[in-house]
């Protein structure tokens, strides 16, 4: 009986294991997960902390018992140590006992995800220092908040997690200072969108400090009392670091599995690594960026789920492909929705394009219909007319607009095509000229088309 061994029980790993189990019920399928929890929605963690998600159990997609009921042998707290590729075995540590053993396989899927990246900073450790990457992180922070009155927090990092945690800590009555070492917000926001996000945060009481150099963490015993920066000391009751992630692939050191300089596994459209019998999927992998045509590291749950399904199909002998991504993402800062897809002007220049950009502000609904508000749309195109990227922010309707732009990017549409796209209209949902169409028309004019 063939055996599939999956390393990692989250989105990619569980999607692949379930797919193989359905397509090849005679196979033995084993999933090794280093954490205590298989198959949960990590993206919901900030909202559990803030109280929008009431119970931690609501985050579970599948419990370990439900996974086993599918005929999948899932083992928790089992950490991959080394790949013995020539022997088709994996060296594993049983974390509860500290013992090690070798697990055989016929087919191997690596779905180890990513891990939180902490800056190399003196003193950056303590019982009030947190990351927000997995359910264990969430439990620890929730206990800390529940144990006593926590009045203040410093959140380091202005990416998706940093912004979401600033909002949700504020919902718990915590005074939040949000800092970043550069002027960037969500990595690639253009100034017009970035400034609106910052204004929304500050209007809701979040203190934002950009271009801050953190020099050291000042400690008192087991706790951090402040971050010493070039702008003065920042004291707080708790400190949360959200400065990025890196692929969790250190155990592949010395193996033939190909990886990028940052450790992301290189795979083809079937999620195969090029090493016989070994596939990889999810946040531990590079993906093809459909706008640039180049490999990129863009760890997102939607991508992990799709890659896991494709990998499972390929392992089972079916023909399915994962073509790539355009980098679509969305988040919220209090009452402001923010969506991005494709390339910013700076990213377009770095990729060798000659970018032209346009930005407009328009109402989210017909002017005579109550409610709604102003939405900002920024579009980037190559001078030859190909759409390269979009950024949208506003109080409502951002998901539909950014998804439309993502579809246009995936299809390789030109700006003039987008400007005439047949988008839905009714007064409660959009003006007769949707803001996305208005922005495309302005950009079309700038391109002289």
Q: In what order do the strands lie in the sheet with 329-333?
A: 329-333, 336-342, 387-394, 374-382, 355-363
Long-range contacts, 200-205 (Cβ 8 Å, 24+): 200/333, 200/334, 200/335, 200/336, 201/163, 201/166, 201/333, 201/334, 203/334, 204/167, 204/170, 204/334, 205/170, 205/175, 205/176
Boundary-marking domain end, from 282, 315, 348:
315
Based on the fold, state whether residues 259 and 359 are members of the same structural domain.
no
Residues 265 and 248: their CA atoms lie apart, in Å, by 10
pLDDT of residue 149: 81
Q: Any idea which residue has 């690639």 for tokens?
A: 188
pLDDT at 386 over 90: yes
Claim to verify: residue 258 and residue 300 sit in the same structural domain: yes
Is 197 inside any structural domain? yes
Taking a C-beta distance cutoff of 8 angstroms, is the pair 378, 193 a contact?
yes
d(CA 122, CA 217): 6
393 catalytic per annotation: no
Same domain, 234 and 266: no
> What would the pLDDT profile of 1-38 be if each residue is shown by its tens digit?
799 999 999 999 999 999 999 999 999 999 999 999 88
Among 220, 241, 262, the domain-final residue is 241
**pLDDT in the model for residue 156:** 98
- Does a structural domain hold residue 123? no
Coil/strand/helix, residue 320: coil
Task: Compute the average pLDDT of residues 162-191.
Answer: 96
pLDDT confidence of residue 126: 94
- Tell me the pLDDT band of 283, cut-offs 50, 70 and 90: very high
Same domain, 237 and 249: no
| Neighbouring-strand partners of residue 295 | 288
Check pLDDT > 90 for residue 61: no
Q: Which CATH number fits the domain that encloses residue 384?
A: 3.30.390.30
Question: Are 107 and 208 in a shared domain?
Answer: no
Is 327 a domain residue?
no
In a domain, 362, yes or no: yes
Residues 6+ apart with CB under 8 A from 111: 6, 7, 8, 10, 12, 13, 16, 280, 281, 282, 284, 304, 308, 311
The percent of residues in the chain predicted with pLDDT above 90, rounded, is 93
* 254 and 206 belong to one structural domain: no
Same domain, 363 and 429: yes
Instruction: Confirm whether 45 is domain-assigned.
Output: yes
Domain boundary among 214, 241, 268: 241
Residue 326 lies in a domain: no
Same domain membership, residue 249 and residue 109: yes
* Burial tier of 181 (Cβ tally within 10 Å: 0-12, 13-18, 19+): middle
Q: Using an 8 Å Cβ cutoff, are 90 and 105 in contact?
A: yes
Q: How confident is the model at residue 373 (pLDDT cuts 50, 70, 90)?
A: very high
Contact status, residue 280 vs residue 265, Cβ threshold 8 Å:
yes
* C-alpha–C-alpha distance, residues 211 and 240, integer Å: 18
Segment 317-321 shows an average pLDDT of 93
Query: According to the model, what pLDDT value does residue 60 have?
Result: 85
Range of the domain at 385: 337-444
CB atoms within 10 A of CB 1: 7
Are the C-beta atoms of residues 274 and 253 closer than 8 Å to each other? no
How many domains are there within the chain?
Answer: 3
Look at residue 359 and tell me if it is in a domain. Answer: yes
User: Do 275 and 423 sit in the same domain of this protein?
Assistant: no
Residues 264, 177 within the same domain = no
Q: Is 396 helix (H, G, I), strand (E, B) or coil?
A: coil
329 occurs within a structural domain: no
The pLDDT value given to residue 224: 97
Are 94 and 179 in the same domain? no
On the question of pLDDT at 449 being above 80, the answer is no
CA distance 75 to 262: 28
- Residues 149 and 175: beta-carbon distance below 8 Å: no
- Report the pLDDT value the prediction gives residue 347, as an integer from 0 to 100: 97
Asked if 379 contacts 392 with a C-beta cutoff of 8 angstroms, the reply is no
CATH number where 284 lies: 3.50.50.60
Tokens of 355: 């970018």
Q: Is the pLDDT of residue 296 over 80?
A: yes
Catalytic residue among 43, 284, 285, 393: 43
* Residues 232 and 250 placed together within one structural domain of the fold: no
């Amino acid at each position: 009986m063939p055996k599939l061994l999956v390393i990692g029980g989250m989105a990619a790993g569980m999607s692949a294991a379930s797919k193989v189990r359905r397509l090849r019920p005679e196979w033995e399928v084993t999933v090794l997960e280093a954490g205590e929890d298989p198959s949960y929605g990590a993206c919901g963690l900030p909202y559990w902390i803030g109280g929008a998600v009431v119970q931690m159990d609501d985050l579970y997609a599948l419990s370990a018992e439900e996974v086993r009921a599918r005929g999948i042998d899932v083992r928790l707290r089992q950490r991959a140590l080394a790949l013995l590729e020539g022997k088709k075995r994996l060296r594993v540590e049983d974390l509860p006992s500290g013992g090690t053993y070798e697990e055989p396989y016929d087919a191997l899927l690596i779905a180890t995800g990513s891990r939180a990246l902490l800056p190399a900073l003196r003193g950056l450790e303590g019982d009030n220092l947190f990351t927000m990457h997995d359910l264990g992180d969430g439990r620890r922070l929730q206990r800390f908040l529940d144990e006593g009155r926590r009045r203040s927090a410093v959140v380091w990092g202005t990416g998706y997690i940093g912004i979401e945690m600033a909002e949700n800590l504020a919902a718990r009555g915590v005074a939040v200072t949000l800092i970043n070492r550069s002027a960037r917000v969500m990595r690639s926001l253009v100034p017009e969108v970035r400034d609106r996000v910052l204004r929304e945060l500050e209007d809701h009481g979040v203190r934002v400090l950009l271009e801050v150099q953190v020099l050291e963490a000042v400690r008192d015993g087991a706790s951090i009392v402040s971050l010493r920066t070039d702008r003065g000391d920042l004291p707080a009751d708790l400190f949360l670091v959200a400065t990025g992630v890196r692929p969790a692939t250190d155990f592949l050191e010395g193996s033939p599995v190909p990886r990028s300089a940052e450790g992301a596994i290189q795979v083809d459209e079937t999620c195969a690594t090029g090493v016989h019998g070994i596939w990889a999927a999810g946040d531990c992998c590079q993906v093809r960026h459909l706008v640039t045509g180049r490999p990129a590291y863009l760890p997102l749950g939607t991508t992990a789920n799709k890659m896991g399904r494709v990998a499972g199909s390929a392992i089972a002998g079916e023909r399915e492909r994962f073509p790539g991504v355009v980098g679509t993402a969305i988040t919220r800062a209090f009452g402001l929705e923010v969506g991005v897809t494709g390339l910013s002007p700076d990213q377009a220049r770095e990729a060798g394009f000659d970018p032209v950009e346009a930005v407009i502000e328009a109402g989210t609904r017909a002017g005579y219909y109550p409610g709604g508000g102003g939405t900002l749309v920024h579009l980037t195109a190559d001078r030859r007319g190909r759409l390269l990227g979009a950024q949208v922010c506003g109080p409502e309707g951002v998901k539909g607009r950014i998804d439309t732009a993502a579809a246009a990017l995936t299809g390789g549409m030109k700006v003039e095509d987008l400007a005439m796209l047949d988008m839905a209209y009714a007064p409660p949902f959009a003006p007769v000229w949707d803001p996305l169409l208005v922005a495309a028309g302005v950009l079309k004019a700038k391109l002289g088309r």
